[in-house]
Structure 1
Amino acid sequence: MSARTASLQRRLLLSISAAIAIAALVALGAIGYSLFHFARGQIDQRLDAQLQAVEAALEIGADGRLRLTRIIDGPPFDRELSGWYWQARPLAGGESVRSPSLNRADLIASGPADARRNDPGRAHPIDVQGPGTAQLVGRFRQTEIAARSGVRAGVLLIATAPRRAVFAPVIDVGRILVFVLLALFAALFATVLLQIRQGLRPLERIREALIDIRAGRIDRLPEEQPPEVRPLALEINNLLSENSETLSRSRMHVANLAHSLKTPLSTLALAFRDSDGAGGQQARNAIELIDRRISHHLRRARTAALAGGSRSRTPLAERVAELSSALSKIYQDKNIVFDSRIDAALQLACDPLDVDEIFGNLLDNACKWCASRVRMTASAEQMAIISIEDDGEGIPADAVANVLKPGERLDETAPGSGFGLGIAAEIIGLYGGTIEFARSELGGLRVDVSLPAAPGGARTSRAD
């Protein structure tokens, strides 16, 4: 997966998580470094204080040796081999004075103590080896101790602490700090994840709105969008408007072409239907060939125009009510009772003009042949099944096959062109539906039509 096609949420999470992790590591290093220097400073201050106490308690006796005038070995310098040591060594040679914790061992300076003899009176760090293998940190200072005779002798003072006294607090605090930083990272990660999801929510709403547009529940994207997303929504709405206009123009061209070609061609077919001889047969064959080719190309053009049919949502009960109202005026002399049992929630995934064309022809045919009653029922699952029944005389079973033939009229005395049912059947076929004829319980004809139901419409039968 390339960087351009990777998930935006994943990319944002990875980049922000990496930035948080790097910041946490830098913070951990900086805090650890500061803690180490703080701990080392505390140890150095304690050792310097011990050096001052040792210096204040030293004197040179009458025998010329160093000795303490008072006891200065409080905890932890009184614990043997604890790492907390001090030692005073005469620079001119002689016996050293040391803390009880050294257990008569000597501290051996392995650092630059001699190099700092020209800087007396100040304490400096030093590398020291003591008894055992414990690592030590040390401080030393060079001073002079006055004898009773007034002679002053140079003395090297060394105080040490175990290295663990410096690192143990840093490690302890570091462990706590790691847990705190991990908790902080988790909290920041959760907050960032929430913010990213909230930030990408407008895109998810656009996706859901596009699903509603495809299902026909809405026509356009809501224009109330965040400023960053509003241009995208406006461009999509403009595209939908252009597609709708293109669809309308295509439908108009198809309708014009159908009326300008199909009707004259059907008239020619009727004119040559009873012609005898080779010329009449050739004319009928040519007309049939032209009719097939025109039907083929009209079907392709109409199918392309209806490619967005899934976005259409036509309330069937409303359209049937309007058609029934219009037909009741046309056939007012028959006082037809229209019994519509179609759920108001049932919607067809068909263009409203096509619905009017289909059911206008079917209802007109029912009104034409009924005695006084027309009943309409419907049920729906994936496909809606709509039944139109009348209480007329019906049609013979052997005549059903001829009903849908263009220009075919079972009763030449009745008004009409014979194209209505054929046009309705052709439109139904373009939507993948079917049309069937049967005997009605009312005594007349029952026409069963199947058409695609729009998602979210009625799903229960309202027929008795």
Structure 2
Amino acid sequence: MSILHLRKRIVTSLAEISIRGRLLFTGTILTAAALVAASLSVEAVLDTYVRRSINQSLDGQIGLLARSVRTDGSIDRDMLSEIGPFTQYRRGWSWRIETPRMVVNSTEVIGTLDFREEGPRGREGHFRALPDLLRTGRSGDLYVRMLDRQTPGGSVRITATAPHAVYERLRTAAVRPVLLILGGLSIVLLATSLLQLQIGLRPLVRLKRSLEEVRRGRLARVPGDQPSELRAVVEETNDLLDENEASLERARSHVANLAHSLKTPLATLRVKLSDNGKDPDGELSLLVAQIDGAIRHHLGRARAASPGAPGRACVLLAPVVADLFAALQRIYIDRNLAFHMAVPRDMSVRCDPQDLSEMLGNLLDNAAKWAATQIRITATQQDRAIAIVVEEDGPGLSGPALGLALLPGQRLDERGDGHGFGLSITRELAELHGGALYLENSDMGGLRAVLSLPR
């Protein structure tokens, strides 16, 4: 795999991570890097202080031992006995004085040191002026401090040692609590980051809910009381909704103008064909009727599918059905049909009000034409949709005819003044609104039309 391809995959993977994931990933990486740097820095500082503490302890011993060395290089043993052995009776704590004349050891003999210098020269303790030279180093498991002094009697070396395990123990005792504190701090920082993300991203969650409300038609626009970082996004979104609504109004206006400009000539043509026997067999009138139905069909599609249509409004079903029932009862008053409605008062669908009236009007009018005595409409909630069922007790349709009834221009019975476009327009309007329409035979004996619309 090439480096370019690997880089592209990494960039793509990062782009797919959510904002929460990006912030959490970045915060975790930066926090971990800061904690590692802090741990290394604190460890180095504490190591310096522990080393300095041991150096000062050994330097104190060396300073007292240096007082027993005379200027001629001899050792004042009486003073040395008053000073004491400076041993803790543990292996590794010892000292030695080396002069040209003699060598004096503590109670534990240091022996021959394979001395390796590790520390700086002449920085710790109070031996800084020449001809004194103070060094720090290790020999085996010993931590060593050594003073070289020039006297008239020759070179004098005073050595003091401590077990290196003591240095390590002191260092561990100093570093461990700090590392534990830093570990606890990292957990607190991680929890704080999660809380910060939860609080900081809450406006995005509110914005998402507002957009859902706009899409469902419960809000006309996204509320403008947003954080300053999101205010520009909200303004652009609301401007887009304004433009889409204006586009929809223009499309509806064009639809109305087109309908008016076409229907008037068609009405004139229908009148002329009826005069003086110009259409004796009625074929031309039938063609005019089919053209009129096709125009209504495609204009209905254009109205529902206008480009840029914003989120449709929520429409209560019960008032629309009640108005249609009242109109149909007046139209079919001579047939004495019984209308039954079982629609909850608070049930609503997400649909254009005019399109909803047209769809239900087509279904109820079709049911009223074929019903024998009664029509029934019910509405139930099915997950995210509302199923509106229109039934009648008429003759019904056979199996093949159920499929043909939804095709444009199909009239399964030549009685009446219909043109065969009502059910097809209803189906396409339902699909354009995210719903569906299908037909089946009802247990009442007639046709059962099921209209599904988003709730």
TM-score norm. by structure 2 comes to 0.72
Asked if residue 178 in structure 1 is aligned to residue 179 in structure 2, the reply is yes
- Give the 5 Å matches for 1:57-456: 57=68, 67-69=77-79, 70=81, 72-73=83-84, 76-79=87-90, 82-90=91-99, 93-102=100-109, 105=111, 119=129, 124-127=134-137, 129=139, 133-140=140-147, 142=149, 155-261=156-262, 265=266, 271=273, 275=279, 298=299, 301-302=302-303, 304-305=305-306, 311-325=312-326, 338-360=339-361, 363=364, 375-381=376-382, 382=385, 384-387=387-390, 389=392, 410=415, 418-419=417-418, 422-423=421-422, 425-432=424-431, 433-434=436-437, 448-455=448-455
From the superposition, tell whether residues 89 and 358 of structure 1 become closer, same or farther in structure 2 (CA, over 3 Å): closer
Give the drift of 1:230: 2.4
Asked if residue 37 in structure 1 is aligned to residue 37 in structure 2, the reply is no
1:410 is aligned with what amino acid?
R
Which residue number corresponds to residue 65 of structure 2?
A: 54
C-alpha separation in 2, matches of 1:60 and 1:439: 127
Give the drift of 1:325: 4.6
Asked whether the 8 Å contact 1:385–1:448 carries over to 2, the reply is: no
Asked whether the 8 Å contact 1:317–1:346 carries over to 2, the reply is: yes
**Greater displacement, 330-339 / 44-53:** 330-339
- Aligned pair count reads 422
Asked whether the 8 Å contact 2:142–2:164 carries over to 1, the reply is: yes
Asked whether the 8 Å contact 1:389–1:440 carries over to 2, the reply is: no
Equivalent position SS for 1:136: strand
Asked whether the 8 Å contact 1:78–1:99 carries over to 2, the reply is: no
Give the drift of 1:140: 1.4
Report Cα offsets for 1:128-175 as digits up to 9, x if no partner.
75xxx334321315376xxxxxx9887443323334433432233323
From the superposition, tell whether residues 352 and 83 of structure 1 become closer, same or farther in structure 2 (CA, over 3 Å): same
Give the drift of 1:387: 1.7
Equivalent position SS for 1:101: coil
Give the drift of 1:312: 4.3
Report Cα offsets for 1:170-222 as digits up to 9, x if no partner.
23332333332222112212211221232122223323333343344444323
Asked whether the 8 Å contact 1:51–1:159 carries over to 2, the reply is: yes
C-alpha separation in 2, matches of 1:128 and 1:365: 105
C-alpha separation in 2, matches of 1:328 and 1:289: 28
Equivalent position SS for 2:344: coil
Give the drift of 1:95: 1.2
Asked whether the 8 Å contact 1:315–1:344 carries over to 2, the reply is: yes
Which residue number corresponds to residue 29 of structure 2?
A: 18
C-alpha separation in 2, matches of 1:421 and 1:359: 16
Give the drift of 1:43: 1.4
Gaps of 5+ in 1: 145-150, 412-417, 456-464
Report Cα offsets for 1:370-426 as digits up to 9, x if no partner.
899764333453462322548xxx6797999999868x9836xxxxxx359844652
1:94 is aligned with what amino acid?
R
Equivalent position SS for 2:108: helix
Report Cα offsets for 1:36-63 as digits up to 9, x if no partner.
22112211221122123324456699x9
From the superposition, tell whether residues 285 and 449 of structure 1 become closer, same or farther in structure 2 (CA, over 3 Å): closer
1:430 is aligned with what amino acid?
L
Report Cα offsets for 1:72-100 as digits up to 9, x if no partner.
44564543xx332222222xx21111211
C-alpha separation in 2, matches of 1:178 and 1:396: 83
Asked whether the 8 Å contact 1:350–1:452 carries over to 2, the reply is: no
C-alpha separation in 2, matches of 1:210 and 1:363: 34
C-alpha separation in 1, matches of 2:414 and 2:278: 15
C-alpha separation in 2, matches of 1:409 and 1:263: 25
Report Cα offsets for 1:331-357 as digits up to 9, x if no partner.
889998754221224333432102222
C-alpha separation in 1, matches of 2:23 and 2:362: 59
- The root-mean-square deviation of aligned C-alpha atoms, in Å, is 4.9
Give the drift of 1:264: 5.2
1:17 is aligned with what amino acid?
T
Report Cα offsets for 1:107-142 as digits up to 9, x if no partner.
57776999xx9945867224475xxx3343213153
Equivalent position SS for 2:305: helix
From the superposition, tell whether residues 214 and 66 of structure 1 become closer, same or farther in structure 2 (CA, over 3 Å): same
C-alpha separation in 1, matches of 2:27 and 2:60: 49
**Greater displacement, 446-455 / 296-305:** 296-305
